[in-house]
Amino acid sequence: MSREDIAGFPTFDGEPLPETLSLATAWLPNRMGFGIAVPEPGRAIPYLQATYGRRPNAIGEFKAYGFRAVIDIGTPTAKAARHRIEAELAGMSYFNIPVAGEMPSIPETQHFTRLVLQTADDSLLVYSLSPQLLGVMWASHRINLGSPVSFAIAEARLLGLTEEQEALLRRRAGAGTN
């Protein structure tokens, strides 16, 4: 049975598996940050759907649910070093994109897209301490892949994209502010 087959089924605690991205479905326990699962390069799902409703308490625990790679966005250097060790000890690939602030540069978003495409054969966890940074990076990636700007922005709003980030994304994409 695939993850798609179980969407809408109850979790171990009786709650339905989440089917859409949102701040609530991206929130990781114990103030760890926010994450999404990327089963294929152009699609994100709630990590809770990918973990069958379980909330792993550490990066290495995602391995049991088929995750093979982690992209860590904007995490401070010392914490990123710990995340790398934890992921690699679990046998997962680890990538860090150190973003200063809440708006990644164009080269940072291009690097993110290259990493997502590079890990296309693996289940991927995209992680950030900030839901706004997670949302804007995912929207930038979707735009880099050719998705309509309005679609990418609507999806990113669910993850915490701010109005300022949206305006900058629209300018970058040449889509104006409407």
pLDDT in tens, 64-123: 999 999 999 999 999 999 999 999 999 999 999 999 999 999 999 999 999 999 998 888
Q: Which two tokens stand for residue 115?
A: 């990493």
Q: Structure pTM?
A: 0.87
Q: Does residue 177 carry a pLDDT above 50? A: no
Is pLDDT larger for residue 4 or for residue 51?
A: 51
Q: Do the Cβ atoms of 160 and 135 come closer than 8 Å?
A: yes
Boundaries of every domain in the chain? 3-173
High-pLDDT (> 90) share of the chain, %: 61
| CA–CA distances in Å: residue 53 to residues 13, 29, 76, 121, 123 | 8, 12, 28, 23, 16
Q: How far apart are CA 43 and CA 63, in angstroms?
A: 19
Q: How far apart are CA 128 and CA 74, in angstroms?
A: 6
Backbone angles phi and psi of 16, in degrees to 5:
-70, 145
* Superfamily for domain range 3-173: Protein tyrosine phosphatase superfamily (3.90.190.10)
Q: How far apart are the first and last CA of the chain?
A: 42
